[in-house]
Each structure stands twice: as structure tokens, then as C-alpha cells.
């Protein structure tokens, strides 16, 4: 049995089942989860049955696809319902998305005005004091006297929200204290309970971060090949950061920290859209599909997507299906090169076009990449494009900020470059910045790898390309689309396959030495702090506390002009190894909150400096073209 065979379980259901276990059974829970994963399971409609042993069956009933109550998990053993099997099944199953009825809190109405006609007044959440009715008398008196009307203080978090944020902080700090190996089902259930409470208190962003941490913890403990430590570092820092800011933020900052339960689609009137390209989408969770990028007359980017379970096979098939937008009969491939006229359009904050009943769309004439309004996308300097893309791909970017991580560049191909992670294509941007182009997906069923290797055999070819920024100390993109080498049309590099006849006169493949990264980040010792931040997540605080003296590393950071990094490294390791004793010499509990605060500061600092170095790497330098040409010359 795998987690994919089980229906998603609501976070509060898992938390309740684990909390109801006796202390003795909680100690056995992680072992029960592992044993249950080796047992066969089969699905019959909305019910999944797991054979616990030859005589006992465990059932998960998921009407609507989600196990929403603890009674929906039943077991046939003698100890049921107080057995460990029900909690183990809930811990082994995927975490369900938040319930749809948990929406954002309504915006407060202006004093003296009613809410929408026919709607009841907002009811405070149980346990929260009702807001006092606003009084209009002081404002009226002030207006009559000629004095300015006093402004109301910015909105602050309620006591219930602060308490929910404190619970999230404590649960996240406990995970950081124990590390991946120690953050078993019990620690995960504490996170799920805190996430559920936070969502009830209208804190969807920190609650979503907590659910992400749980999902990544389960992937790490199960040995999922798609798991990356950097993802868990980011999720933990997001969880601790937003939980901490709830108590201090107010006004607009609080709204950002609080987040939204769902991203609404807002009306955007009529749009005239021009197709750019179509990219294949294949996720580690087994989903596949296509996403077509289009641009409006003002240059704003929009997407039309179709992604669902199915993997790479579905990604290739969806490209030839009609887009889900109005009555348009265009396929994704066709829309990437054609145009669309949309009326009644709805758009999400991140640019996704809605497909509601009121949306109408008809085919229209497209535009070449060299024609307006698309040509304007390539007129922005690469450094400005990189800075914009980095703001949207930042680890801790505002979820409502929107923006795109795509770059539009005119390049000259230089040849193939061998790197420790594989071979990439080196190109020179207009402006003299050498950039590495890599494949977006290595799956052999997609055309990315074959197309990149074929382009590497045509040095000197000039192309107009679209790529996705890869944050690094040197300019790097994943190549998504390019103009056809003959100058006729465009190529979706994941779908269309280039042929050798499409290229200029064939030459032998050119392998050049990659130019050394220049700029302020070329020899930055920031990794001395980054690796300690990353090391804490899988190993926990105790492993970091055994490192001993880190003075040499701190001195190297100071010599490189990073005194803040040196101070953070010293404080982090000192906090990890600090254990106080009472009057009788017994060890007191470790300061979990203090260590979490030091780790959070180090994680956010390293992310900010890495993003700054990435931005600086895209700045053109006088000797970049000379360095790239000199590296290429001996190979020709």
C-alpha cells in the first residue's frame, strides 16, 4: 500500500485520532504506520479497505473523496475504536486540502453603513469577544467643530489569532528541535491540530505552511525520491516566520501575513490575448498537463492550464485538447501561436484565466515574437527581468504578489558545457551576460533534452528564447521555448522536436570550459552558514550542538565582508549547544524557542543574501563577452 492509494484525510481528523491514543500506543504509532504501509489495500467506490492481518480489516470511508470525520475510519480489531490502527491509517494518508467553508474573514463595514442587503451581520467566532459597535458621535462632533476626524488604529491580530500563531510556533519549533528522524506521527499531529486551529482563526497562510511541513516530513521519512531538504527548510522558515509576525503585524502587513483561504478570480472585462508558447507540466505527485502562456495588449502575462493526475502521458495528450476557456476550439498548441478575444474574463492574482460560465472567448489573429505587443517583452534589459523574476520566485515572496518568473532574451549560442550535474548549453545574452540554459524536464518522453543537445551543435546561432529563472550565483535558466533556427515560427521545447535539417550547416559538437562565475557572489563563503541551516532540519538541534568551535568559519565570513552571517553562525551553534543546569546539577530542558528564533534569523538571512547575489550576477560586466569568447576560441 502506498499513500497515493489512500484517500486524503482532514487535518483535524488525524490530530483527533492521535490525541485520543494512550501514551503507550503513541509510542507505537510510528511502527504501526510503517507496518500498515506494507499491507494490501483495495478501493471500492468511496471506501478503501486495508487488510491489517488475515482476520482484521481497516476501512476508510471518503464521501466526496475526503475522510472528513474520525468515525469514517473504522477497524475490526478487538481494541477498536481505541486501537492504534485508525490513527496509523490517518497518518499514512495524504493531508486533505482545507475545507471549502473556511473562508476569509469579511472586511469590516464602514461605520453607519450596512453590509450587503439581505446578508446577516458577521457573527464572531466562538471564544472571541464580539467587536464593539462603532460610535459615530465623536466623528460627528469633530466634524462640526472643524477638527480633523481621527483615524482608526490599524487592524491588529485578535487574542485568538495570537494564541493560534503561538501554537504553530511551538509545533514548528518542536519539529526543528527533533529533526526529521524525530518528528514522527505525534509531532506531525501537533502540527495538524495547530494548522486546523489557525485556519479556524482566519490564518490560512501560516496554516498552509504547517500542512506543507507535514507533507514534506512524511516524504522525507518515507524516502520519497522527490523530497528535497531545501523545500523543508523553506516550509519551516515560512511557518515560523508567519507565526512570529502574526503577533507584531498590523494593517496591510497583517493582511499579507494572514493570507487568503483561496485566491479569488476577479472580473477583468474584455481581453485581447496573444499566444506565446505552451509548456508541459509534470509534477512529482503524478500530475500532468499543459500550461499555455499568453500576453495581453499591455504586455501582462496570463496562463490557461489543464493539469490533473496522469503524469507525462497526460501532459503530451492535453497539449492537443481544446483549452477550457469559453467556446474556443483552439488546442493548447494552437493557442500558443494564435490569439484570443475574451469577454467577461476573470483572472486570479497570479494571472490564471478563469473558465466560468460567463466567460466567452473566440479565436483571433496572433502575433509573432518580433511584432508588438509581444516584441516589447524582449526589450526590457536582462538584469531588470531577472530582478523581477527573482521577486516572484523568492522563497518567502508574498503569495498575493503575482508576477512571473519568465525571462525573454535574445542570445547567441556558444556550445555545450559539462557541469557536475550534467551538460547544459552556454549562451551569450545581448548585453554581454553569459547564461547557462538547462532542460526543464529530463523525462525521455518529452523533447527537452534532445532539443537542447541538438541546439548545442549549432554554435553561433542567434535565437530569441523564453526561459524560467533558476536562482544561482551565476545566470541560469531552464529553456522553455525559442524561435525556430530558420526564423520561421517558434518551438515549444517540451512538445516540438527539432531536426538536424532545421539547424544551420552541421558542425561537430563544441565542448567549452564554463566561464568562472564573476561578480560579488563568485567566491562567497555564504555556504558556511547555509549548510548549518540545512543540517539542522534532518538532524535536529542536538547534531548542530555537537559541532564544537565554529570560530574559523566565522572568521572566514568576516574576512569576506559578511559580519552578520558570522554573528548568526556563532549564535546559532551556541544556542544549539547551550543547556542550563538547576541547583542540583541536573540538565534543564533546552530553550527550544530561542534556538528556533536563531535558526529562523539565519534561514531568512541566507535566503536574502543568495537572492541579492543572484540579482548581481545578471548585471552586465565589461569583460563578460571577452571571457566567454576566450573560453570558446580554443575549442573552435
> What's the rounded mean pLDDT across residues 192-208?
94
| Residues ≥6 apart with Cβ < 8 Å to 408 | 377, 378, 380, 385, 464, 465, 466
pLDDT at 37 over 60: yes
Kindly tell me if the per-residue pLDDT of 140 is higher than 60.
no
Residue 398: the pLDDT is 60
Give the pLDDT confidence of 231-244 residue by residue, as tens digits. 999 999 999 999 99
Task: With a cut of 50, say whether residue 624 has pLDDT above it.
Answer: no
Is the pLDDT assigned to residue 423 strictly greater than 80? yes
Q: What total of structural domains would you count in the chain?
A: 5
pLDDT at 476 (0 to 100): 92
Distance from C-alpha of 48 to C-alpha of 89, rounded to nearest angstrom? 11
Residue pLDDT, tens place only, 538-574? 999 988 888 778 899 999 999 988 999 999 999 999 8
Residue 468 sits in the same domain as residue 555: no
Confidence of residue 137 (pLDDT cuts 50, 70, 90): very low
Q: Please identify, among 368, 402, 427, the residue that sits at the C-terminal boundary of a domain.
A: 368
CB of 423 closer than 8 Å to CB of 396: no
> pLDDT above 90 covers what percent of the chain?
47
Q: Which of the listed residues 322, 338, 368 is the one where a domain comes to its end?
A: 368
Dist. CA 451–CA 455, nearest whole Å: 6
| Residue 530 predicted with pLDDT over 90 | yes
The pLDDT, as a whole number, for residue 286 is 72
Q: Is residue 152 part of a domain?
A: no
pLDDT band at 204 (very low <50, low <70, confident <90, very high): very high
Q: What is the pLDDT of residues 276-305, one digit of tens each?
A: 999 999 887 678 899 999 999 999 999 998
Tell whether 363 and 395 lie within a shared domain. Answer: no
pLDDT for position 391: 84
pLDDT digits (tens, 9 = 90+) for 142-154: 444 455 555 667 7
Residues 280 and 237 in one domain: no
- pLDDT given at position 549: 82
pLDDT band for 514, please (50, 70, 90 cuts): low
Alpha-carbon distance 133 to 111, whole Å?
9
Q: Are residues 532 and 599 in the same domain?
A: yes
With respect to residue 154, please indicate whether it lies within any of the assigned structural domains. Answer: no
Q: Render pLDDT for 167-183 as a digit per residue (tens, 0 to 9).
A: 999 999 999 999 999 99
Whether residues 252 and 270 fall in one domain: no
**pLDDT in the model for residue 554:** 93
Confidence (pLDDT) at 403? 64
Per-residue pLDDT at 419: 81
**Domain presence at residue 134:** no
- In the prediction, which pLDDT does 150 show? 56
Gap between the Cα atoms of 18 and 171, Å rounded: 15
The interaxial angle of helices 185-200 and 159-182, nearest 10 deg, is 160
Is a pLDDT exceeding 70 seen at residue 628? no
By the 10 Å C-beta count (0-12 exposed, 13-18 middle, 19+ buried), 586 is classed as: exposed
Say if 102 falls within a structural domain: no
Given a cut of 50, whether residue 111 has pLDDT beyond it is no
Average confidence (pLDDT) over 156-173: 94
- As beta bridge partners, residue 411 has 429, 463
Is residue 452 domain-resident? yes
Above 50 in pLDDT, residue 108? no
Most confident segment among 241-250, 386-395, 398-407: 241-250
Q: Is position 106 within any domain?
A: no
Same-domain check for residues 505 and 395: yes
Classify residue 110 as exposed, middle or buried by CB count within 10 Å of its CB (0-12, 13-18, 19+): exposed
Q: Which residues of 450-607 form beta strands (DSSP E)?
A: 462-469, 476-483, 490-492, 511-512
Residues 457-485 have a mean pLDDT of 92
Task: Report whether pLDDT(524) > 50.
Answer: yes
| Arithmetic mean of pLDDT over the chain | 82
pLDDT in tens, 246-279: 989 888 888 888 887 766 777 777 899 999 999 9
Q: How far is CA 215 from CA 193, 212, 227, 337, 537, in A?
A: 14, 5, 10, 38, 14
Report the pLDDT value the prediction gives residue 2, as an integer from 0 to 100. Answer: 65
What beta strand segments (E) does 323-433 contain? 339-347, 360-364, 406-419, 422-429
Residue 419's CATH number:
2.40.50
Q: In the chain, helix, strand, coil percent, each to 5? A: 40, 20, 40
Q: Examine the domain organization and report whether 543 and 608 are in the same domain.
A: yes
- Residue written as cell 560579488? 520
What per-residue confidence (pLDDT) applies to 521? 55
In angstroms, rounded to a whole number, what is the distance separating the alpha carbons of residues 44 and 628?
61
Is the model's pLDDT at 208 over the cut of 70? yes
Q: Are residues 493 and 392 in the same domain?
A: yes
Q: Residue 633 falls within a domain, yes or no?
A: no
Q: Look at residue 289 and give its three-state secondary structure.
A: strand
For the stretch 494-512, pLDDT in tens is 999 999 888 887 555 554 5
How confident is the model at residue 348, as a pLDDT? 83
Based on the fold, state whether residues 484 and 542 are members of the same structural domain: no
Q: Which residue has the higher pLDDT, 304 or 108?
A: 304
Based on the fold, state whether residues 164 and 251 are members of the same structural domain: yes
Residue holding cell 500506543?
25
When mean pLDDT is compared across 417-421, 524-528, 596-600, the lowest value belongs to 417-421
Write out the three cell numbers for 202. 482566519
Asked if residue 426 lies in contact with residue 434, where contact means CB atoms within 8 angstroms, the answer is yes
Share of the chain above pLDDT 70, in %: 83
**Of 109-113, 138-142, 625-629, the least confident:** 109-113
The answer to whether 271 and 295 are in contact (CB under 8 A) is no
| Enclosing H/E stretch for 534 | helix 527-539
pLDDT of 515 reads 53
627 pLDDT exceeds 70?
no
Is 99 contained in some domain? Answer: no
pLDDT winner (highest mean) among 79-88, 139-148, 417-426: 79-88
In whole angstroms, give the CA distance from residue 415 to residue 461: 10
Do 416 and 494 fall into the same domain? yes
Is pLDDT of 87 > 70?
Answer: yes
Verify that 217 and 308 share a domain, yes or no. Answer: no
Domain final residue, candidates 462, 477, 512: 512
Which residues form the domain of 423? 380-512
Residue 450 has pLDDT above 50, yes or no: yes
Amino acid at each position: 500500500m502506498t499513500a497515493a492509494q489512500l484517500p486524503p484525510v482532514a487535518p483535524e481528523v488525524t490530530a483527533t485520532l492521535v490525541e485520543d491514543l494512550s501514551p503507550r500506543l503513541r509510542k507505537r504509532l510510528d511502527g504501526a504506520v510503517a507496518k500498515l504501509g506494507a499491507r494490501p489495500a483495495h478501493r471500492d467506490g468511496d471506501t478503501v479497505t486495508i487488510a491489517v492481518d488475515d482476520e482484521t480489516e481497516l476501512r476508510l470511508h471518503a464521501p466526496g473523496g475526503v475522510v472528513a470525520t474520525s468515525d469514517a475510519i473504522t477497524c475490526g480489531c478487538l481494541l477498536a475504536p481505541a486501537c492504534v490502527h485508525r490513527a496509523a491509517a490517518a497518518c499514512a494518508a495524504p493531508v486533505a486540502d482545507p475545507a471549502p467553508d473556511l473562508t476569509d474573514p469579511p472586511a469590516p463595514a464602514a461605520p453607519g453603513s450596512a453590509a450587503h442587503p439581505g446578508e446577516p451581520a458577521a457573527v464572531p467566532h466562538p471564544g472571541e469577544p464580539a467587536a464593539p459597535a462603532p460610535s459615530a458621535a465623536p466623528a460627528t462632533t469633530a466634524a462640526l467643530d472643524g477638527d480633523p476626524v481621527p483615524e482608526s488604529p490599524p487592524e491588529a491580530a485578535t487574542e485568538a489569532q495570537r494564541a493560534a500563531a503561538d501554537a504553530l510556533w511551538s509545533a514548528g519549533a518542536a519539529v526543528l528541535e527533533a529533526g526529521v528522524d524525530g518528528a514522527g506521527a505525534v509531532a506531525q499531529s501537533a502540527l495538524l491540530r495547530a494548522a486546523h486551529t489557525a485556519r479556524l482563526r482566519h490564518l490560512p497562510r501560516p496554516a498552509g505552511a504547517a500542512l506543507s511541513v507535514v507533507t514534506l516530513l512524511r516524504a522525507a521519512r518515507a524516502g520519497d525520491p522527490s523530497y528535497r531538504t531545501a523545500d523543508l527548510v523553506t516550509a519551516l522558515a515560512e511557518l515560523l516566520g508567519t507565526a512570529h509576525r502574526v503577533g507584531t503585524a498590523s494593517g496591510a502587513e497583517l493582511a499579507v501575513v494572514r493570507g487568503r483561504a483561496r485566491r479569488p478570480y476577479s472580473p477583468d472585462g474584455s481581453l485581447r490575448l496573444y499566444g506565446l508558447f505552451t509548456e508541459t507540466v509534470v509534477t512529482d505527485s503524478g500530475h500532468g498537463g499543459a500550461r499555455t502562456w499568453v500576453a495581453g495588449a499591455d504586455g501582462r502575462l496570463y496562463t490557461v492550464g489543464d493539469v490533473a493526475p496522469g503524469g507525462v502521458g497526460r501532459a503530451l495528450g492535453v497539449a492537443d485538447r481544446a483549452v477550457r476557456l469559453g467556446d474556443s476550439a483552439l488546442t493548447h498548441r494552437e493557442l500558443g501561436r494564435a490569439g484570443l478575444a475574451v469577454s467577461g474574463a476573470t483572472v486570479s492574482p497570479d494571472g490564471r484565466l478563469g473558465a466560468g460560465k460567463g466567460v466567452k472567448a473566440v479565436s483571433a489573429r496572433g502575433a509573432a515574437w518580433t511584432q508588438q505587443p509581444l516584441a516589447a517583452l524582449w526589450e526590457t534589459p536582462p538584469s531588470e527581468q531577472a530582478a523581477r523574476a527573482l521577486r516572484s520566485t523568492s522563497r518567502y515572496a508574498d503569495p498575493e504578489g503575482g508576477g512571473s518568473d519568465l525571462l525573454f532574451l535574445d542570445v547567441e549560442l556558444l556550445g555545450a558545457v559539462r557541469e557536475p550535474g550534467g551538460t547544459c548549453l552556454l549562451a551569450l545574452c545581448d548585453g554581454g551576460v553569459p547564461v547557462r540554459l538547462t532542460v526543464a524536464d529530463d523525462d525521455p518522453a518529452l523533447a527537452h533534452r534532445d532539443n537542447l543537445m541538438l541546439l548545442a551543435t549549432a554554435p553561433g546561432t542567434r535565437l530569441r528564447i523564453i526561459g524560467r529563472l533558476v536562482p544561482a550565483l551565476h545566470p541560469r535558466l531552464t529553456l522553455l521555448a525559442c524561435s525556430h533556427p530558420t526564423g520561421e515560427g517558434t518551438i515549444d521545447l517540451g512538445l516540438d522536436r527539432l531536426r538536424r535539417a532545421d539547424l544551420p550547416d552541421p558542425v561537430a559538437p563544441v565542448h567549452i570550459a564554463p566561464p568562472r562565475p564573476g561578480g560579488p557572489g563568485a567566491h562567497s563563503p555564504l555556504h558556511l552558514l547555509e549548510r548549518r541551516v540545512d543540517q539542522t532540519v534532518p538532524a535536529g538541534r542536538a547534531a548542530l550542538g555537537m559541532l564544537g568551535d565554529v570560530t574559523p568559519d566565522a572568521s572566514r565570513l568576516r574576512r569576506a565582508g559578511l559580519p552578520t552571517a558570522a554573528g548568526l553562525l556563532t549564535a546559532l551553534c551556541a544556542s544549539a549547544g547551550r543547556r542550563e543546569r538547576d541547583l542540583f546539577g541536573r540538565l534543564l530542558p533546552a530553550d527550544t524557542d530561542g534556538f528556533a528564533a536563531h535558526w529562523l534569523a539565519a534561514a531568512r538571512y541566507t535566503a536574502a543574501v543568495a537572492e541579492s547575489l543572484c540579482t548581481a550576477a545578471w548585471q552586465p560586466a565589461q569583460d563578460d563577452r571577452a571571457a566567454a569568447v576566450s573560453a570558446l576560441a580554443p575549442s573552435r
